[in-house]
């Protein structure tokens, strides 16, 4: 807490005690003169007295013996042998102890015997769980979520998070839209999330009031009973001053969202704020004038206390009793809100999304009162102009400026089940370990004014805990159990035994140069220049692992140092013209004999492995999603729109993605620098027909560069699903017609002849079943096997056996399932909810599985998706197999035949590129991509 706030509190307190003394004085005078105090006067005085109270727990809060959220019948629980991250000492304290949970509270931390006797709990009543030294952290707190208000599966009747009634609607309340049947509650709990602040959306400048909830189902099953410390105004128009004063929350949004929705400019939006606060200020002033009069004893013509239900939330903001949560990205907008906070004198709790805050920490410090915190994504950026300068180093930079950093989900924008992964990413990119764990626990808890009961593992705090199968910052960390209010949330959790080294925080690369560049170039550092490219020989030293494609498999070789004639040779790999020419003992002398020009790169125990293939996002076709002028644009849907006559080919006008391709996009280059050397993109479509996809080099500078376009045509893409204007059956009928008697030389005929794959984007098991039938029908007709790939595949696991038998492959997208829509609601969630993950289930049925990404920024993380998939499956998916999911399998799914992998020009020359990582393997935290060696293009790019 900053000192300005502390001194304001003192001022408030003085004011408060001043008013009270004065009021009491007049009141006593009344009694003295034996006048009766009219009831309305007593009430008014009571009201006035309460106006300056500041929310927060009573001072004896931690001596409570029962939580207000305690559910009768919950047994005391003892966790033995926990390795506890407490949240204390700036997030550096780790304690090895037993924990007693009772009556919804963490009663004690220490030795079990002493705990039981100290709190008089009988051993017989207690559930005892030995967690065998597992990591235990506080329940995860998400300070920006739309759980319940934008529920899953998404249905038209249930998007309740944005009011469209105007830019200023402080009277709206997220509670009023909270659907208790959101499938995501259970899923987010399984990721360790226990408390979320449910905010209205960002369509409005002032979008309404937010409410913190705990995610568990309550015995009452109501939305109200999920609330954590709700203000008494939840039930009544005005405060009940006999109950503790709890913090309230309000959502503000600046910049693109509210401006776009109401066709406003930023100038209009800022004026809307000022006008609203001016109204609220008048209300507050009239209340203060009323109270000044009342406390001076002028009761005669006092009248009623000035109230206004609509503006009361904002006047409460002006009294400092509401946490102001501001969706705000860009410098202009951060500055604007900072000015408003000074004009009307209210503190801002946090800027959310806040992609440019790392560039302007002083703008945050300029805001009224204590410096706002930030609630950010780790690396979700560039989807609109406001987010274009986002950097994954923001968390580190802001923290080093002393600004409070919380990671948030914006669920369902990002599945909050994986909020911890955001903290892991922030840590990977430089946020210190203590602050990274705090960024999803104690930091958001404090920012929400709830740090006295959640976000810490301390005696007297709420019994919200997560027991993990590894260090919480290790990739793939999965809860073994989650407690909310002392109640275990997972019925029969499944987790696998994790390697011992994952019990410690992973070591992470040094990104000092990148951090400096992010600031120097205001978020747009050059990602690939002439200087990166080496055409000479490159010797990689201290290489620990090499993964090489052999046919359609990937072989792992562990390299060791060798000693010859007493001389030690660290394991090395030589690359000439982008091609690996020596593995093992490639001494510098050996190299020098061949060439005088060699660049030596130390991989510090790192690895070389094949470059990854990405599919699913419009890489190369979209730069800033929300900006049309930066994109290829949308394909005309021939099922519902008229295809221009000039385009009519009897197939609705099949287009090629290659014709719309742009190179050097930021997400494309970040993918390249993340080890994704080939991207496959389909034309962008919201309708039935997408068109022909393309495979291209993510590191190429333009289309005419050698090797830039890997395959101009990969597969034909269509979308089949509900929600389009034409019915699913109409879409299937169209597909049947085009495949069986379509144009004789068109793309559909090439599919029917088995020459290129048909990639059908769909999730529904019923649609997949229909497609399997259709495949048989077409093959019966043409007597040729057609190549069918399902992309999406949220429900594919329900037909794993049938897909395997029909030889239909699946690209899972998203890679970790989420019931976003009705057609993808029947997910196989994977550990800890089910033993098998979706990937494992499909692999177990012999299906060729690839992994996709939905949005362009995600492509750079493909390597962690693969590593995670392997970790989640224990020893059932090896690292080599995980590699296949992002390389060979992707090629197979786009038409490369098994036998082609032995023919270099057909098979792996598609990839033909190696990624060098320092400090570890590509698929694990701890490594950093330092170079791409391209035999396809004849050089090495060094980053």
If one asks whether residue 926 binds ligand NAG (CB under 6 A), the answer comes out as no
Give yes or no for a contact between 96 and 84, defined as CB atoms under 8 angstroms apart: yes
Nearest to 474 by CA among 499, 439, 456, 442: 499
Provide the β-strand partners of residue 322.
248
Choose one: 195-203, 348-356, 534-542, 643-651; the region binding ligand NAG (CB under 6 A): 534-542
| Of residues 17 and 66, the one with the C-beta less far from ligand NAG | 66
Instruction: Name the one range near ligand NAG by CB under 6 A: 163-171, 195-203, 428-436, 544-552.
Output: 428-436
Q: Contact with ligand NAG (CB under 6 A): which of 7, 21, 28, 90?
A: 90
Which range, of 452-460, 531-539, 550-558, 715-723, touches ligand NAG by CB under 6 A? 531-539
**Closer to ligand NAG by Cβ: residue 35 or 597:** 597
Could you say which of 28, 29, 65, 132 contacts ligand NAG (CB under 6 A)?
132
- Are 429 and 513 in contact by the 8 Å Cβ rule? The answer is no
- Answer positive or negative: Cα dihedral of 731, 732, 735, 741: negative
- Edge-first strand order for the sheet with 350-353 is 140-145, 193-198, 206-214, 248-253, 322-328, 350-353, 373-376, 405-407
Residues 6+ apart with CB under 8 A from 126: 75, 76, 77, 78, 100, 116
The yes or no reply on residue 131 touching ligand NAG (CB under 6 A) is yes
- Assess 579 for contact with ligand NAG (CB under 6 A): no
With CB atoms as reference, the residue minimizing the distance to ligand NAG is 536
Closest separation in Å from C-beta 363 to ligand NAG: 21
Distance of CA 6 to the CA centre of its chain: 34
Query: Is 130 among the residues that bind ligand NAG (CB under 6 A)?
Result: yes
Distance CA 582, CA 562 (A): 15
Residues 6+ positions from 408 with CB-CB distance below 8 Å? 142, 143, 144, 145, 352, 375, 376, 377, 419, 422, 444
Q: Record the tokens describing residue 180, joined without a space.
A: 């208790």
Report the site for ligand NAG in 479-518 (rule: CB under 6 A).
480
* Beta carbons of 78 and 126 less than 8 angstroms apart: yes
Q: Is 575 among the residues that bind ligand NAG (CB under 6 A)? A: no
The rounded Cα 385 to chain-centroid distance in angstroms is 19
> In angstroms, rounded to a whole number, what is the distance separating the alpha carbons of residues 144 and 251?
10
* Selected range binding ligand NAG among 16-24, 127-135, 471-479, 894-902, rule: CB under 6 A: 127-135
Minimal distance, residue 98 CB to ligand NAG, in Å: 13
- Kindly state the smallest distance separating residue 238's Cβ from ligand NAG, in Å: 12
Cis peptide bond N-terminal to 926, omega within 30: no
With contacts defined by CB under 6 A, how many residues of the chain interact with ligand NAG? 18
Helix, strand, coil percentages, rounded to 5, for the chain: 35, 20, 45
The nearest distance, CB 2 to ligand NAG, in angstroms, is: 13
Q: Which residue has the tokens 């903001």?
A: 317
The CB-of-130 to ligand NAG minimum distance in angstroms stands at: 5
Nearest CB to ligand NAG, comparing residues 131 and 447: 131
Tell me which stretch binds ligand NAG (CB under 6 A): 130-138, 359-367, 653-661, 810-818.
130-138
Nearer to ligand NAG, 444 or 819 (CB): 444
Question: Judged by CB under 6 A, does residue 278 bind ligand NAG?
Answer: no
If one asks whether residue 535 binds ligand NAG (CB under 6 A), the answer comes out as yes
Q: Would you count residue 532 as binding ligand NAG (CB under 6 A)?
A: no
Q: Is 536 in the site for ligand NAG (CB under 6 A)?
A: yes
Which residue in 67, 134, 204, 668 binds ligand NAG (CB under 6 A)?
Answer: 134
Nearer to ligand NAG, 29 or 90 (CB): 90
The minimum distance between CB 234 and ligand NAG, in angstroms, equals 4
Cβ closer to ligand NAG: 488 or 652?
488
CB of 334 to ligand NAG, least distance (A): 23
In angstroms, give the least distance from the CB of 435 to ligand NAG. 5
Segment lying near ligand NAG (by CB under 6 A), choices 313-321, 418-426, 432-440, 747-755:
432-440
CB of 747 to ligand NAG, least distance (A): 42
Q: Is residue 874 involved in binding ligand NAG (CB under 6 A)?
A: no
Q: What is the DSSP secondary structure assignment for residue 621, as one 8-state letter?
A: T
DSSP codes, 493-552: ---PPPPGGGGSPPP----HHHHHHHHHTTT----S-GGGEE-SEEEEEEEEEEEEEETT
If one asks whether residue 17 binds ligand NAG (CB under 6 A), the answer comes out as no
Binding mask 465-484 for ligand NAG (x = CB under 6 A): --x------------x----
CA 855 to chain centre: 12
By CB under 6 A, the residues from 216 to 235 that bind ligand NAG are 230, 232, 234-235
Residue pair 759/693 in contact by the 8 Å Cβ criterion:
yes
DSSP 556-604: EEE---EEETTEEE--EEEEETTEEEEEE---HHHHHHH-S-EEEEEEE
**Residue whose entry in the numeric block shows the structure tokens 């019925």:** 491
Whichever of 69 and 408 has its CB closer to ligand NAG, that residue is 69
Please tell me whether residue 435 binds ligand NAG under the rule CB under 6 A.
yes
Cite the beta strand spans of 368-442 per DSSP E.
373-376, 405-407
Distance CA 386, CA 474 (A): 31
Using alpha carbons, select from 477, 478, 465 the residue that is nearest to residue 505. 477
- For 517, residues 6+ apart whose C-beta sits below 8 A from its C-beta are 525
Listed ranges 334-342, 529-537, 556-564, 892-900: which one lies at the site for ligand NAG (CB under 6 A):
529-537
Q: Does 597 bind ligand NAG (CB under 6 A)?
A: yes
| Site stretch for ligand NAG (CB under 6 A), options 131-139, 186-194, 413-421, 706-714 | 131-139
Which CB atom, from 534 or from 735, has the smaller least distance to ligand NAG? Answer: 534
Nearer to ligand NAG, 443 or 625 (CB): 443
d(Cα 690, Cα 674) in Å, to the nearest integer? Answer: 27
Question: Binding residues for ligand NAG, per CB under 6 A?
Answer: 90, 130-132, 134, 230, 232, 234-235, 432, 434-435, 467, 480, 534-536, 597
């Amino acid at each position: 807490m900053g000192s300005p706030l502390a001194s304001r509190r003192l001022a408030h307190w003085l004011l408060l005690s001043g008013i009270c003394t004065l009021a009491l004085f007049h009141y006593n005078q009344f009694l003295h003169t034996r006048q009766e105090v009219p009831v309305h006067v007593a009430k008014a005085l009571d009201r006035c007295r309460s106006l300056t109270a500041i929310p927060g727990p009573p001072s004896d809060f931690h001596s409570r013996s029962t939580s207000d959220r305690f559910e009768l019948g919950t047994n005391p629980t003892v966790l033995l042998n926990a390795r506890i991250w407490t949240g204390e000492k700036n997030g550096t304290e780790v304690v090895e102890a037993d924990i007693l949970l009772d009556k919804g509270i963490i009663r004690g931390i220490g030795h079990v015997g002493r705990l039981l006797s100290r709190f008089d709990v009988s051993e017989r009543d207690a559930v005892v769980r030995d967690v065998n030294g597992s990591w235990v952290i506080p329940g995860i707190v998400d300070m920006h979520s739309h759980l319940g208000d934008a529920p899953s599966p998404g249905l038209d009747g249930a998007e309740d998070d944005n009011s469209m009634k105007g830019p200023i609607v402080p009277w709206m309340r997220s509670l009023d839209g909270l659907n208790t049947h959101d499938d995501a509650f259970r899923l987010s709990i399984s990721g360790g999330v226990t408390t979320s602040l449910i905010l209205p959306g960002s369509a409005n400048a002032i979008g309404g009031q937010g409410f913190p909830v705990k995610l568990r189902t309550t015995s009452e099953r109501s939305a109200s009973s999920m609330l954590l410390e709700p203000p008494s105004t939840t039930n009544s128009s005005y405060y009940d001053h006999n109950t503790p004063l709890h913090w309230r929350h309000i959502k503000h949004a600046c910049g693109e969202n509210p401006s776009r929705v109401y066709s406003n400019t930023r100038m209009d939006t800022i004026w809307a704020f000022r006008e609203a606060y001016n109204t609220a200020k008048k209300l507050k002033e009239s209340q203060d004038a009323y109270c000044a009069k009342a406390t001076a004893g002028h009761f005669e013509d006092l009248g009623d206390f000035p109230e206004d239900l609509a503006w009361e939330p904002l006047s409460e903001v002006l009294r400092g009793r509401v946490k102001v949560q501001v969706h705000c990205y860009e410098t202009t907008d951060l500055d604007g809100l900072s000015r408003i906070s000074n004009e009307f004198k209210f503190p801002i709790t946090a800027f959310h999304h806040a992609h440019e805050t790392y560039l302007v920490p002083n703008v945050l410090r300029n805001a009224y009162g204590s410096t706002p915190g930030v609630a950010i994504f780790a690396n979700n950026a560039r989807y609109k102009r406001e987010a274009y300068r986002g950097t994954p180093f923001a968390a580190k930079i802001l923290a080093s400026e002393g600004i409070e950093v919380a990671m948030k989900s914006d669920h369902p924008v990002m599945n909050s089940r994986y909020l911890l992964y955001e903290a892991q990413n922030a840590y990977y990119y430089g946020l210190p370990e203590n602050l990274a764990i705090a960024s999803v626990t104690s930091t958001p808890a404090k920012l929400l004014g709830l740090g006295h009961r959640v976000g810490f593992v301390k005696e007297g705090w709420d019994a919200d805990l997560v027991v993990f199968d590894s260090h919480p910052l290790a990739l793939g960390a999965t809860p073994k159990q989650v407690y909310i209010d002392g109640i275990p949330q997972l019925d029969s959790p499944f987790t696998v035994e994790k390697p011992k080294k994952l019990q410690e925080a992973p070591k992470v690369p040094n990104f000092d140069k990148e951090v400096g560049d992010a600031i120097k170039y205001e978020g747009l550092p050059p990602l690939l220049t002439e200087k990166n490219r080496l055409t000479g020989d490159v010797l990689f030293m201290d290489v620990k692992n090499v993964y090489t494609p052999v046919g359609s498999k990937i072989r792992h070789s562990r390299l060791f140092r060798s000693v010859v004639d007493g001389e030690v040779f660290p394991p090395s790999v030589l690359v000439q013209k982008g091609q690996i020419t020596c593995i093992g003992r490639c001494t510098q002398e050996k190299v020098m004999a061949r060439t005088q020009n060699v660049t030596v790169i130390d991989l510090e125990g790192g690895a070389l492995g094949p470059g990854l293939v990405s599919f699913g996002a419009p890489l190369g076709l979209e730069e800033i999603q929300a900006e049309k002028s930066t994109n290829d644009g949308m394909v005309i849907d021939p099922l519902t729109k008229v295809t221009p006559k000039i385009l009519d080919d009897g197939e609705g006008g099949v287009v090629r993605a290659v014709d719309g391709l742009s190179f050097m996009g930021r997400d494309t280059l970040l993918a390249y620098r993340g080890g994704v050397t080939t991207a496959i993109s389909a034309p962008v479509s919201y309708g039935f027909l997408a068109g022909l996809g393309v495979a291209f080099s993510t590191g190429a500078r333009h289309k005419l560069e050698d090797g830039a376009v890997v395959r101009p045509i990969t597969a034909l893409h269509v979308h089949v699903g509900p929600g389009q204007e034409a019915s699913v059956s109409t879409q299937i009928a169209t597909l049947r017609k085009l495949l069986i008697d379509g144009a004789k030389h068109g793309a559909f005929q090439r599919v029917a002849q088995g020459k290129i794959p048909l990639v059908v984007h769909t999730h529904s098991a019923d649609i997949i079943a229909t497609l399997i039938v259709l495949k048989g029908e077409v093959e019966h007709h043409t007597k040729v096997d057609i190549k069918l790939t399902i992309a999406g595949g949220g429900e594919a696991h329900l037909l794993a056996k049938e897909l395997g038998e029909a030889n239909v492959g699946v690209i899972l997208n998203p890679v970790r399932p989420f019931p976003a829509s009705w057609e993808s609601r029947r997910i196989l969630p994977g550990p800890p909810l089910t033993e098998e993950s979706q990937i494992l289930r499909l692999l177990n049925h012999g299906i060729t599985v690839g992994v996709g990404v939905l949005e362009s920024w995600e492509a750079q993380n493909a390597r962690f998706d693969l590593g995670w998939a392997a970790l989640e499956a224990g020893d059932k998916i090896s690292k080599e197999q995980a590699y296949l999911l992002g390389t060979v399998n992707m090629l197979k799914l786009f038409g490369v035949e098994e036998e082609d992998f032995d023919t270099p020009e057909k098979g792996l020359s598609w990839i033909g590129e190696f990624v060098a990582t320092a400090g570890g393997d590509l698929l694990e935290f701890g490594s950093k991509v330092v170079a791409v060696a391209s035999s396809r293009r004849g050089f090495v790019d060094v980053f």
